[in-house]
Structure 1
Amino acid sequence: MTEANPSEEQASDAADQKPRAPRHSVFLSATVEHFGGKKPTRHRVRDLSTGGVRIDQAAGFREGATVLVSVGALDAVGATVVWTRDSLAGLKFVEPIDPEAARAKAAVAPQPFRGQSRDLSVNAPTAGWVPNLNSPYRR
Structure 2
Amino acid sequence: MTERDRSDEPEGDTAAHQPRAPRHSVFLSATVEHFGAKAPTKHRVRDLSVGGVRIDQAAGLRPGATVLVSVGALAAVGATVVWARDGIAGLKFAEPIDPEAARAKAAVAPQPFRGQPRDLGSAGPTAGWVPNLNSPYRR
- TM bin, normalised by shorter chain, reads 0.7 to 0.9
Report the alpha carbon displacement of residue 94 of structure 1 after superposing the two structures with TM: 0.4
Separation (CA, whole Å) in 1 of partners of 2:41 and 2:51:
21
SS of 1:91's partner is strand
The 1:102/1:30 distance shift into structure 2, 3 A limit, reads same
Taking structure 2 as the reference length, the TM-score comes to 0.73
Report the alpha carbon displacement of residue 17 of structure 1 after superposing the two structures with TM: 1.6
Report the alpha carbon displacement of residue 106 of structure 1 after superposing the two structures with TM: 3.7
Report the alpha carbon displacement of residue 101 of structure 1 after superposing the two structures with TM: 1.0
The 1:84/1:18 distance shift into structure 2, 3 A limit, reads same
The residue aligned with 1:91 is: 91
Q: Deviations over 1:26-78 (max 9, x none)?
A: 01011110001210000000100000000000001000000101122211110
Displacement over 4 Å in runs of 4+: 13-16
Report the alpha carbon displacement of residue 93 of structure 1 after superposing the two structures with TM: 0.3
Matches within 5 A, 1:15-30: 17-30=17-30
SS of 1:75's partner is coil
Conserved? CA contact 1:72–1:106, under 8 Å: no
Taking structure 1 as the reference length, the TM-score comes to 0.73
- Percent of residue pairs identical: 82
The 1:82/1:113 distance shift into structure 2, 3 A limit, reads same
Please, which runs of 5 or more residues in structure 2 have no aligned partner?
Answer: 1-12, 126-139
The 1:101/1:14 distance shift into structure 2, 3 A limit, reads same
Separation (CA, whole Å) in 1 of partners of 2:23 and 2:66:
22
